[in-house]
Amino acid sequence: MNTECDDRRIATEIRVLFAVMSKAMRMDTEARLSAAGIELSHLQIIMLRILNHNGGATISELSKMIMCDPSTLVPSSEGLVRKGYIHRVRDPQDRRRVLLYMTPEGTGVMDMLDAMPEDDIFLSCVRYMGVEKGHQLLDHMREMVLLLPHGAATYEHIKAHILAHLPATSPSDASSPANIAEETDTRE
C-alpha cells in the first residue's frame, strides 16, 4: 500500500471514528437533559454553549461561529427565549443590533451539562484505557485541532472553557487544565 492510499485510509477511519464518538456524546447529553426534564435540540445546546462561553452575540455572529445560515437559528433562538434560557437586549452602541444573552436558568442548564458525572461515557472510556493512553489520545487530538484552519483560535476558546469549568487538579498532573496553556505554548 502506498503512502497516499494509507493516508486516505487513516483520514477516512479517523473521520468515521470521530462521527461515532460525536454521536455517542450527543446521545449521552440528550439522555442527561431528558432525565432532568429539559428538552433542547442539538442546535440549541450549541447556541447555549457559545453564549455561555462568549457572553452576548447576535444571530449573525452565532451563525458565523456555528457555520450555518442565520435563518436556521431564528426558530431555535425563539425556543430558547420562550423556555427562559436566553434573553434579547438591544445593543446600546447600535440600536439595530439585538444581542442574545444567557439567563440564570440557561447558565444552570450549562452548568449541569458541564458537570461530569461518574457514569459519563467518555470518563468511563478514559478510565478503561488508562492514564497513559488517555494522555496520548489527548495529545494527538490537541495536535489535530491545532492543525485545522483557525485551529489555534479554536483551541484557545476550548482551553478557556476547560479552565473555567473544571476543578483545579494537582500541579503534578501533566494534562491538568492549569498546565494546558504551558503545553500548548511550547508546541506553537
pLDDT greater at residue 58 or residue 162: 58
Which alpha helices (H) appear in the chain, and where do they start and end? 3-35, 42-54, 59-66, 70-82, 104-114, 121-129, 131-147, 151-165, 177-187
Query: Cell numbers 442546535 label which residue?
Result: 43
- Phi, psi of 91, deg, nearest 5: -70, 120
pLDDT band at 38 (very low <50, low <70, confident <90, very high): very high
Q: Is 111 part of a structural domain of the chain? A: no
Query: Cell numbers 494546558 label which residue?
Result: 180
Q: Is 182 part of a structural domain of the chain? A: yes
Mean pLDDT along residues 148-160:
80
Rg of the chain on CA atoms, in Å: 19
Q: Which contacts qualify for 164-170: CB closer than 8 Å, 24 or more apart?
A: 164/53, 165/114
Selection from 187, 128, 127 nearest residue 159 by Cα: 187
Residue 168, pLDDT score? 55
Q: Is 36 part of a structural domain of the chain? A: no
Residue 172, pLDDT score? 39
Q: Is 112 part of a structural domain of the chain? A: no
Assigned C-alpha cell, 69: 445560515
Over the stretch 66-116, which tens digit does the pLDDT of each residue have?
888 999 999 999 999 999 999 999 988 888 899 999 999 999 999 888 888
Q: Is 177 part of a structural domain of the chain? A: yes
Full domain range(s) for residue 148: 130-188
Task: Read off the pTM.
Answer: 0.69
pLDDT band at 136 (very low <50, low <70, confident <90, very high): very high
Number of domains the chain is built from: 1
Q: Is 110 part of a structural domain of the chain? A: no
CB 66 within 8 A of CB 47: yes
Q: Rounded distance, CA 105 to CA 102, Å?
A: 8
Assigned C-alpha cell, 100: 442574545
